[in-house]
Amino acid sequence: MSLHIEDPRIVEFDVQTDEMLVNMGPQHPSTHGVLRLLLRTDGEIVHECTPHIGYLHRCAEKIGENLSPPQYIPYTDRMDYLAAMNMNLGFALAVEKLIGMEVPEKAVHLRVLIAEIGRIASHLVGMGTYGLDLGTFSPFLYAFREREIILDLFEEVCGARLTYSYITIGGATHDLPDEIEMPDGLASLIGKHKGERLPFLDVIEIFLQWLELRIREYHTLLTRNMIFISRTAGLGILSPEMAVSYGCTGPVLRGSGVDFDLRRDGEAIYTRMYKGYDFEVPVAPFKEAPREVALGDNWCRFYVRMMEVVQAIRLVRQAIPKYKAASGSYREPFKMNTKLPKDEVYLETEAPRGQMGFYVVGNGEGNPLRLRAKSSCFCNVSVTDQICQGVPLADIPAIVGSLDIVMGEIDR
Amino acid sequence: MDIQSIHSILLERFGESVVGTQTFKAIDPWIQVSAASIVEVCTFLRDDPRLLFNHLNDLCGVDYLEPDAKKAAKFGHEPHVEVVYHLSSLKQRHQLKLKVVVPRWKDNVEGQLPIVPSLSAIFGIANWHEREAYDLMGIHFEGHPNLRRILCPEDWIGHPMRKDYAFPLEYHGVRGR
C-alpha cells in the first residue's frame, strides 16, 4: 500500500517531537550569575521553566544573629552588590526604626543623594546587560563607561568601588568630600585636563549634565531599535494580578501597570526622607511606546528602568542644594554597646530591583534574635515559570534578563 | 486602616478562638492567629473590600530558643516557633502583620516538624517563601504543592536557622570547620 500525501503541510503538524529536558545554567552566560533553569521543551517551545537557586547561598541571615547591626552592614553590601548603597540604607533604616533613632537633616539629604546615584548605576548595569542578553554588545560598553564614573565618585566618597558600607546606622561613615580631583574617565569624556580639583558636588553636576544627554543615545541604541522591539515587545507578559500575587516589586510591578513606589507610598520613616522632593513614578502603559508593546511585557519593564534613571537625576539635582543648606552632622553616633529593645520591626525600602525588606527582632541584647532579609529579586524570579510558558527557547534569556536579577540577593 | 479596626473586623468575623487579643504596644503591632485557620483568615483579608490585603510582602519563621543554658533564664520567651506574615494592600495602602505560633517540634518529639497550613493557593509567592521557611527553619507547610529545599542542597541535613542547629563537620568530603 503506497502512502499518498495530499497536503504536505499536514505532515508537518503530525510530526511528534520528543519532550526534552534542557538544563540552562548555573554557568550560562546569560543567566546573570548562578541561576539554573530547568526547561521542559517540546521541539523549540518551552512548556515549563523551573528556576533552581541557592548556588550563592551564604546564610547571611544566620550570620546576622551573631553580629551587632553596624557589623552587619558589610554583609548587606554583598547581597545586592550592584546597588550596595541602597541595601545599606534599607538595613540602616530598619535598625533606626527599631531603636527609635532620629537622623540629622544633613544625613537625610546625603542619603537621598547617594542612594539615587546608586540607583542610576544599578539601572545602567541592568540596561547594559540586558543588551548583552539580546545579543547587542555596544550598549553594555556605554553603560559601563558611565557606571565607571559613578564608581570613581563613590571611591572618592568612601574608598570602595563596589561594597561601600558607607550608609550606616545613624547616617553615614564620613561626610561627603569637599574637593576632589576630577576622575580621569570623566575628565577625558568632557575634554577637561586631568588632575583638576573641583568641589565634589560640582563634579556630580558636571556628570549629570553629561549623562542626561547620553540617555537619548541609549534610546536610539535600544528602546527604539527595531530588533530590540521585536525581541522584547509582547513577550513575557506579566499581568498586574499575577505580578501582585507573586509579590513582584519595583520596575517589574510598575512595568505591569501597578502604580506603587515605596518612596511615595511607603512607611513614614522612609517617605520622610523624600519629603519636599519632586519626582514622578514611571508606570506602564506609556504613551510613547511602539504599537507592538503590550502592558507588562519585557519592553515595559526595560522602559520603566530607563525612565527611573531620569527621575533619579532629578532627585540628585534637588538633593545637592538641600544638602548644602542643611545644618547638623552627617551622622548620629551609634554606640557599639547599644542593646536592641525587645521589639521587632519590618521595613521595606525601594531598592533599584524592588522592595527590599529587613525584619529585625531584638531581645534586649546587642545582637538581634532574628534578622530576616526579604529579597526583591527572590520574588521577581519566582514568576519566571508563569511568564516563560509557550515561548521559544531563544526568548528565555530575553525574559529572564528583563527581570534584572542579582543572584547575590536571591540566595543571600 | 489602623490595626485596631482590622482586629475588630477579624474578631467579629472569626471570634476569639481564632484571633488572639493584643495590646498593640509594639512598633509594628501584630495580630496572632491560630495555625488551623490561617488560610481562612488570609482569604478573608485578601477578598474583603474594606481590607484588600492582596500583597504578601514576606513570610518567615522565627525560632525562640536560647541554646545557652546560662542565658536561658534571662531570655524571657518560652521555646516556640513563630511564622510571621507581612501583608500589605497596594490599593488601600495599609499593612498588617500576622503571627502563627507553633511548638518547636510537633508533639514535642524532636525531629517532627511543626505543621502550618500553606498559603500557596492564595498568594503565588507563598510557594517560594514557604519552601524557604521549610528549608531554613524547619516548618512543614501542609498542602504545599512542592515542599522541597530551595536554598540548601537537597541532601542537606537539618534546618540551619534553628537556634540549636549543629553545623556539619563534613559535607561530601569538604571539611566544615
* Closest residue to B150, CB basis, from A53, A342, A363: A53
**Is residue A388 in some structural domain?**
yes
pLDDT above 80: residue A400: yes
pLDDT interval class at A406 (50, 70, 90):
confident
Does B123 sit within 8 Å of A245, measured CB to CB? yes
Q: How far apart are CA B165 and CA B151, in angstroms?
A: 16
Distance CA A210, CA B152 (A): 45
The answer to whether A261 faces chain B, any CB pair under 8 Å, is no
- pLDDT above 60: residue A192: yes
Residue B120: DSSP 8-state = T
Say which CATH number the domain at A26 has.
1.10.645.10
In chain A the first and final C-alpha atoms are separated, in Å, by 65
Interface of B with A in 6-25 (CB under 8 A): none
Asked if pLDDT for residue A66 goes beyond 80, the answer is: yes
Residue B20 confidence (pLDDT) above 80: no
Angle between helices A105-133 and A200-218 (to 10 degrees): 30
Does the pLDDT of residue A202 top 70, yes or no?
Answer: yes
Cell 548605576 locates to A121
Q: Would the pLDDT of A31 be above 80? A: no
Looking at residue A2, its pLDDT comes to: 57
What is the average pLDDT across A171-175? 87
pLDDT value for A117: 92
From chain A, the residues in CB contact with B54 under 8 A are 244-245
Give the domain range for residue A220: 13-411
In a domain, A6, yes or no: no
pLDDT of B134: 92
Q: CB B161 to CB A62 under 8 A?
A: yes
Reading the block at residue A228, the C-alpha cell is 530590540
Q: What percent of chain A has pLDDT over 70?
A: 95
Q: Is residue A386 part of a domain?
A: yes
The 3-class SS string of chain A reads: CCCCCCCHHHHHHHCCCCEEEEEECCCCHHHCCCCEEEEEEECCEEEEEEEECCCCCCCHHHHHCCCCHHHHHHHHHCCCCCCHHHHHHHHHHHHHHHHCCCCCHHHHHHHHHHHHHHHHHHHHHHHHHHHHHCCCCHHHHHHHHHHHHHHHHHHHHHCCCCCCCCEECCEECCCCCCEEECCHHHHHHHCCCCCCEEEHHHHHHHHHHHHHHHHHHHHHHHHCCHHHHHHHCCCCCCCHHHHHHCCCCCHHHHHCCCCCCHHHHCCHHHHCCCCCCCCCCCCCCCCCCCCCCCCCCHHHHHHHHHHHHHHHHHHHHHHHHHHHHCCCCCECCCCCCCCCCCCEEEEEEEECCEEEEEEEECCCCCCCCEEEEECHHHHHHCCHHHHCCCCEHHHHHHHHHHCCCCHHHHHC
**Is A383 within a domain?**
yes
Find out whether B3 and B24 touch, Cβ atoms under 8 Å.
yes
Q: Considering only CB atoms, which chain A residues are within 8 Å of B26?
A: 343-344
Q: What percent of chain A has pLDDT over 90?
A: 21
User: Is the pLDDT assigned to residue B176 strictly greater than 80?
Assistant: no
Which candidate, A265, A266, A242, A264, places its Cα nearest to that of A255?
Answer: A242
* In a domain? residue A3: no
* A212: CB partners within 8 A, 6+ apart: A310, A313
State yes or no: pLDDT of A85 exceeds 70: yes
Q: Which residues of B touch A379 (CB under 8 A)?
A: 125, 128
Distance CA A136, CA A128 (A): 9
In a domain, A114, yes or no: yes
Q: Judge whether A153 and A183 are in contact, CB under 8 Å.
A: yes
Question: Omega before A26 cis (within 30°)?
Answer: yes
pLDDT of residue A171: 86
Task: Average the pLDDT over A225-236 and give the result.
Answer: 87
**Which chain A residue lies closest to B74 (C-alpha atoms)?**
A364
Distance (Å) from the alpha carbon of A321 to chain B's nearest alpha carbon: 32
Can you read off the three cell numbers belonging to residue A368? Answer: 538581634
Q: Which of B74, B76, B152 comes nearest A57 by C-beta?
A: B152
The three-class DSSP label of residue B95 is strand
Tell me which DSSP letter residue B168 carries.
Answer: P
Whether the per-residue pLDDT at A44 is higher than 80: the answer is yes
- Report CB contact under 8 Å: B28, A53: no
A242, A267, A372 member nearest B124 (Cβ):
A242
Separation CA B148–CA A38 (nearest Å) = 15
Burial class of residue A59, CB neighbours in 10 A (0-12, 13-18, 19+): middle
Assign residue A407 a region: left if phi > 0, alpha if psi is -120 to 50, beta otherwise?
alpha
Average pLDDT of chain A, as a whole number: 87
Tell which wins on pLDDT, A289 or A151. Answer: A151
Is A135 part of a structural domain of the chain?
yes
Residue A325, amino acid: A
Which of 94-113 (B) contact A at CB < 8 A? 95, 97
d(CA A359, CA A361): 7
All domains in chain B, ordered by first residue = 3-165 (3.30.460.80)
pLDDT of A12 over the 60 cut: no
Out of A244, A344, A383, name the one closest to residue B55 (CB). Answer: A244
Q: What is the pTM of this model?
A: 0.89
How many structural domains compose chain A? 1
Cα–Cα distance for residue pair B159/B137, rounded to 1 Å = 5
pLDDT computed for residue A313 by the predictor: 92
Q: What is the pLDDT of residues B98-125, one digit of tens each?
A: 889 898 888 877 878 899 999 888 898 9
Q: So what's the pLDDT on residue A80?
A: 87
Confidence of residue A11 (pLDDT cuts 50, 70, 90): low
Span A138-147, pLDDT tens digits: 888 999 988 9
Q: Residue A116: inside a domain, yes or no?
A: yes
Q: Does B63 sit within 8 Å of A370, measured CB to CB?
A: yes
Residues above pLDDT 90, as percent of chain B: 11
Name which of A273-277, A300-304, B75-79 the model is least confident about: B75-79
